[in-house]
Structure 1
Amino acid sequence: MNQILSPERVRADVAELIGCDPAEIAPDDNLNDLGLDSVRTMALVERWRGAGAATLDYADLAEQPELAHWTELLTGGAA
């Protein structure tokens, strides 16, 4: 989607919203199970749109709430 977002930034942004250390999130963890709800997911969508992921929408993330999927979607690389 873009190269503005790095895998590290995606991980850090998610960790910030669920209140944990970025290293605690495994690539295949279900982020909803870790406490990421729809409101926080929308906050990430808006944050990442502002960083250049203009075509990102909530459904892109809600469909598969795993860090590895989101990282691939946003950066084209692995988590």
Structure 2
Amino acid sequence: MPPTLDRLRADIADVLGEDPADIPLDENLLDHGLDSVRIMTLLERWRQQHGVQADFADLAEDPVLTAWAPLLGAV
């Protein structure tokens, strides 16, 4: 089952130790503490839980949640 935008946001907040409400939808997540290791951690989680097909380069190219949503099949 594809992830929801809220699920993606909650997972990002989890790896950053933040509240999901503090994770912006349309800002560069690197500016909020996300790094390449955490992106890989998230990507592996989403592959296992949701079967996403995106790869690291797809996410690293534009680390903004609203840009990731279509790549990850978020509904």
Report the TM-score, using the length of structure 2 for normalisation.
0.88
4+ aligned runs moved over 2 Å, structure 1:
none
Aligned residues: CA RMSD: 1.3
Question: Sequence identity, in percent?
Answer: 51
Distance apart, 1:30 and its partner CA: 0.8
Distance apart, 1:70 and its partner CA: 1.1
Superposed CA deviations along residues 13-56 of structure 1, whole A, max 9, x for unmatched, are: 01111111111122111111100110000001101111211x22
Report the TM-score, using the length of structure 1 for normalisation.
0.84
Aligned residues: 74
Question: 2:70, 2:9 → 1: CA distance?
Answer: 12
Question: Gaps spanning 5+ residues in structure 2: where?
Answer: none
Could you tell me whether the CA contact under 8 Å between 1:15 and 1:22 is conserved in 2?
Answer: yes
Distance apart, 1:75 and its partner CA: 2.7
Q: Higher helix proportion, which one?
A: 2
Counterpart residue identity of residue 10, structure 1? L
Question: Gaps spanning 5+ residues in structure 1: where?
Answer: none
